[in-house]
């Protein structure tokens, strides 16, 4: 598994191959010795996210540039607020512009939405988590953005934790059989979680010794009943059918966790702009 720094570098390399290819034909029209100052501003209220990726874009495209940041990831900005000033060669900054903004607009969108969901459950015992419903190739970045927004990460992928879902249960023959097989695995796992759809399945899970249960697409009355049946013997997570409008209702049932795919898969890009001001060659 890559380190965070390695993942950021690979993300940026892939993005630049996609955008720059064999070279920036338009930026080449600018004199090579021209310097410029660029400022990234945000046009709306948002939670900022993407600084490591912007920094890496500049490292790869404009290694001699100098960036002065006014906000850190996780900070909230207001419309028109200055996020970062960058000084360097004009050609390089022009080439870096769109890739920098793409990372900022995408990751800030996830962080901003997550922050709204986290605020909606304040005062309850529930925390808000993401899911594996991510853009292929951007999972680490998007899950980082969830953390910047105050949310928590569910498993990173299929390799670090076990989540026994409906089809696993069907294939194994029963919930109990699937859970027993999971307990016997030799691979290191962060947790073993079992998905249930009915109170009866919850009772079977508890009898088998399951300590993490996912309540899948259950109604509010059934979730309240599940909390009573569990009686604190396992952690309970809600998934499926959760919206911003009903999030608080789910949180107030007494569950421990609420996973929301929309934190990542249903966001609107935050509006950022990079403005250039020429500087005379010294």
Domain boundaries, the chain: 4-117+268-279, 123-265
- Has residue 282 got a pLDDT over 60? no
Q: If pLDDT is split at 50, 70 and 90, which confidence band does 280 have? A: low
Dump pLDDT digits (tens) for 76-114: 999 999 999 999 999 999 999 999 999 999 999 999 999
Fold (CATH) for 4-117+268-279: Aldehyde Oxidoreductase; domain 3 (3.90.1170)
- Has residue 192 got a pLDDT over 90? yes
Extended beta strands in the chain, E state = 35-42, 46-47, 66-69, 76-77, 81-89, 127-129, 162-164, 192-196, 212-216, 235-239, 257-259, 272-279
Q: What's the CATH class of domain 123-265?
A: alpha beta
Q: If pLDDT is split at 50, 70 and 90, which confidence band does 2 have? A: confident
Q: Residue 23 corresponds to which tokens in the numbers above?
A: 């070279």
Look-up of token digits 């390799």: 159
Dump pLDDT digits (tens) for 32-72: 999 999 999 999 999 999 999 999 999 999 999 999 999 99
Q: What is the mean pLDDT of the chain?
A: 96
Q: If pLDDT is split at 50, 70 and 90, which confidence band does 278 have? A: low
Task: Average the pLDDT over 181-204 and give the result.
Answer: 97
Dump pLDDT digits (tens) for 110-155: 999 999 999 999 999 999 999 999 999 999 999 999 999 999 999 9
Q: Give percent above pLDDT 70 in the chain.
A: 98
Task: Average the pLDDT over 28-32 and give the result.
Answer: 95
Three-state DSSP class for 162?
strand
Distant-in-sequence, close-in-space partners of 129: CB < 8 Å, separation ≥ 6: 146, 151, 152, 153, 154, 237, 257, 258, 259, 260
Q: Would you please indicate which residues are annotated as catalytic (active-site) residues? A: 98, 133, 165, 195, 216
Q: If pLDDT is split at 50, 70 and 90, which confidence band does 265 have? A: very high
Q: What is the Cα–Cα distance from 127 to 124, expressed in whole angstroms? A: 8
Q: What is the Cα–Cα distance from 29 to 27, expressed in whole angstroms? A: 5
Query: How far is CA 88 from each of CA 44, 65, 124, 280, rounded to the nearest angstrom?
Result: 27, 4, 48, 12
Give residue 8's pLDDT: 98
Q: Which H or E run contains 139?
A: helix 139-148
Q: Give percent above pLDDT 90 in the chain.
A: 97
Q: What is the Cα–Cα distance from 191 to 127, expressed in whole angstroms? A: 17
Could you report how far apart the first and last alpha carbons of the chain are, in Å?
A: 45
């Amino acid at each position: 598994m890559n380190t965070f720094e390695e993942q950021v570098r690979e993300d940026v390399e892939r993005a630049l191959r996609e955008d720059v290819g064999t070279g920036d034909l338009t930026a080449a029209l600018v004199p090579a010795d021209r310097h410029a100052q660029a400022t990234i501003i945000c046009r709306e209220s948002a939670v900022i996210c993407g600084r490591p990726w912007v920094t890496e874009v500049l490292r790869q495209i404009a290694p001699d540039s100098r960036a002065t940041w006014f906000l850190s990831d996780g900070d909230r900005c207001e419309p028109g607020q200055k996020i970062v000033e960058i000084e360097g060669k004009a050609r390089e900054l022009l080439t870096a512009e769109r890739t920098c903004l793409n990372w900022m607009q995408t990751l800030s969108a996830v962080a901003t939405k997550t922050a709204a969901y986290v605020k909606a459950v304040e005062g309850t015992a529930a925390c808000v988590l993401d899911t594996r419903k991510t853009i292929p190739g951007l999972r680490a970045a998007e899950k980082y953005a969830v953390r910047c927004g105050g949310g928590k990460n569910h498993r990173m992928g299929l390799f670090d934790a076990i989540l026994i879902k409906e089809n696993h249960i069907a294939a194994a023959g029963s919930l109990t059989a699937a859970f027993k097989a999971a307990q016997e695995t030799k691979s290191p796992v962060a947790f073993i979680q079992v998905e249930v759809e009915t109170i009866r399945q919850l009772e079977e899970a508890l009898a088998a010794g399951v300590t993490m249960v996912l309540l899948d697409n259950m109604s509010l009355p059934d979730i309240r009943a599940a909390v009573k049946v569990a009686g604190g013997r396992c952690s309970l997570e809600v998934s499926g059918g959760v919206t911003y409008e009903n999030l608080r209702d789910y949180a107030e049932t007494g569950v421990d966790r609420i996973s929301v795919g929309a934190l990542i898969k249903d966001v609107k890009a935050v509006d950022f702009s990079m403005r250039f001001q020429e500087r005379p060659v010294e």
